[in-house]
């Protein structure tokens, strides 16, 4: 897997913006990605130093589509902790 295929999109929520004060940023990542891949891709894409990566699987939810109940796909989330003083400019001003 190429490093630029690892990060899918940044997750911008109220809870995640509170984590930014601690130097933590949240991304949706590819299901096949591991911690080392996420660390390398964030360091290469944003020119920052990553101290830690925490990952979790987010299970799909049951949603109604008319009469049917369907399961949304599950996805993987990564919380990236940066070195003190580093920040990702993509999240600023949101």
* pLDDT tens, position by position, 7-52: 999 999 999 999 999 999 999 999 999 999 999 999 999 999 999 9
**CA distances from residue 7 to 54, 60, 61, 62 in whole angstroms, order as listed:** 14, 19, 22, 25
The pTM score is 0.88
pLDDT class of 4 with cuts at 50, 70, 90: confident
Specify the CATH number for the domain of residue 49: 3.30.70.330
Residue 94, domain member (yes or no): no
Residue 14, domain member (yes or no): yes
Residue 55, domain member (yes or no): yes
Higher per-residue confidence, 2 vs 18: 18
pLDDT at 1 (0 to 100): 81
The percentage of the chain sitting over the pLDDT mark of 90, rounded to a whole number, equals: 85
**CA distances from residue 71 to 11, 23, 32 in whole angstroms, order as listed:** 21, 34, 20
pLDDT at 89 (0 to 100): 82
Residue 64 belongs to what domain range? 3-84
How many domains is the chain built from? 1
Residue 92, domain member (yes or no): no
Residue 89, domain member (yes or no): no
| 64-87 mean pLDDT | 96
Residue 43, domain member (yes or no): yes
Looking at every residue in the chain, the average pLDDT score rounds to 93
Residue 38, domain member (yes or no): yes
């Amino acid at each position: 897997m190429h490093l630029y295929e690892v990060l899918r999109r940044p997750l911008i929520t109220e809870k995640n913006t509170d984590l930014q004060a601690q130097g933590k940023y949240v991304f949706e990542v590819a299901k096949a990605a591991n911690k080392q891949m996420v660390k390398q891709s964030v360091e290469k894409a944003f020119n920052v130093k990553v101290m830690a990566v925490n990952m979790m699987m987010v299970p799909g939810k049951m949603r109604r589509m008319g009469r049917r109940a369907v399961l949304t796909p599950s996805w993987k989330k990564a919380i990236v902790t940066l070195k003190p003083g580093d920040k990702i400019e993509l999240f600023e001003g949101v």
